[in-house]
């Protein structure tokens, strides 16, 4: 349990101080040439890797909504994703596939990768990331349905623990007609697995 004195020390310590302390606890010398600037580099790296906390996903989507009569499936697939596992703060990375069937409104296509980045640039678990993407689209445009699939590799499995180098985790979130209609879900899954078009 953290005492009030310890909590006070932690809040007054800079990010760089904490990284320096970690280096010492790992058995290294933070004054060594190769490590002198590491605390600052780590601070800047984590600011970038967790910048999603400072961004509002819903507000971003609202700036790119368009009224249309189109009611066929819209798919954005193979969007590269990088995130940090909240359990070990190690990277996981892979591809995200998103589909929805409009109900009067569509999202500007470039905003879907942007949405993925906002949620992935946070401490995450893959399951929650999948759900957040789907639910945010559902709330923004109230489509007939949304489907999201993420295929990712986790360094916490590859570098430690079971150390399985070729394992991948696949998660999905299906809302509306993607959940209720087998045909819609099957079409989506078939289209994201079709690499014949070279995309």
Active-site option among 97, 117, 124, 126: 126
pLDDT for the residue numbered 72: 96
Query: What is the CATH class of 55-193?
Result: alpha beta
Catalytic position from the list 47, 87, 127, 142: 87
- Concerning whether 177 is annotated as a catalytic residue, the answer is no
The mean pLDDT of 136-140, rounded to a whole number, is 97
> What string of DSSP letters covers 177-189?
HHHH-HHHHHHHH
* Residue 88 is a catalytic residue: yes
Q: Which one is the CATH code of 4-49: 1.10.286, 1.10.3470, 3.40.50, 1.10.10?
A: 1.10.286
Query: Choosing from 28, 86, 127, 142, which is the catalytic residue?
Result: 86
Ordered DSSP codes for 118-142: HHHSSEE-HHHHHHHHHHHHHHHH-
* DSSP code for 171: E
55-193 matches 4-49 in CATH topology = no
Instruction: Mark whether 132 is an active-site residue.
Output: no
Position 159 confidence tier, pLDDT thresholds 50, 70, 90 = confident
- Predicted pLDDT at 199: 36
**What's the whole-number average pLDDT of the chain?**
92
Task: Kindly state the helix (H) or strand (E) to which residue 157 belongs, with its residue range.
Answer: helix 155-158
Q: Is 166 a catalytic residue?
A: no
196 or 103, higher pLDDT: 103
Please tell me the pTM assigned to this model. 0.89
Better pLDDT: 164 or 81:
81
The residue from 97, 124, 132, 154 that is catalytic is 154
* Cβ atoms of 155 and 91 closer than 8 Å: yes
Reported confidence tier of residue 157, pLDDT bands at 50, 70, 90:
confident
d(CA 29, CA 35): 7
Domain layout of the chain by residue ranges: 4-49, 55-193
Q: Please enumerate, as own/partner, the contacts of 158-165 that have beta carbons within 8 Å and a separation of 24 or more.
A: 159/90, 160/88, 160/90
Task: Give CA–CA dist 25/140, Å, rounded.
Answer: 46
In this predicted structure, what is the pLDDT of residue 136?
Answer: 98
pLDDT tens column, 106-131: 999 999 999 999 999 999 999 999 99
Active site residue 86: yes
Least confident of 7-11, 27-31, 191-195: 7-11
Instruction: For the chain, list the strands marked E by DSSP.
Output: 65-67, 74-85, 91-101, 105-107, 123-124, 145-154, 169-176
Query: In the chain, what is the greatest distance between 2 CA atoms, to the nearest angstrom?
Result: 64
How far apart are alpha carbons 153 and 43 in whole angstroms? 25
């Amino acid at each position: 349990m953290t005492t009030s004195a310890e909590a006070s020390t932690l809040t007054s310590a800079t990010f760089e101080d904490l990284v320096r302390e970690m280096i010492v606890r790992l058995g290294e010398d933070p004054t060594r040439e190769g490590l002198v600037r590491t605390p600052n580099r780590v601070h800047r790296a984590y600011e970038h890797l967790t910048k999603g906390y400072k961004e509002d996903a819903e507000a971003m989507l609202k700036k790119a909504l368009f009224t249309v009569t189109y009611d066929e499936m819209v798919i954005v697939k193979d969007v590269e994703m990088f995130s940090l596992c909240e359990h070990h703060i190690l990277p996981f990375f892979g591809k995200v596939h998103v589909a929805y069937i409009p109900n009067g409104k569509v999202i500007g296509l470039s905003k879907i990768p942007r949405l993925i980045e906002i949620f992935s640039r946070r401490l995450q678990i893959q399951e929650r990331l999948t759900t957040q993407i789907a639910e945010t689209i559902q709330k923004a445009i109230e489509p007939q349905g949304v489907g999201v699939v993420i295929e990712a590799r986790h360094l916490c499995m590859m570098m430690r623990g079971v150390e399985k180098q070729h394992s991948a985790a696949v998660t999905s979130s299906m809302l509306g007609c993607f959940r209720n209609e087998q045909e819609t879900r099957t079409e989506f899954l078939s289209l994201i697995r079709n690499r014949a078009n070279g995309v």
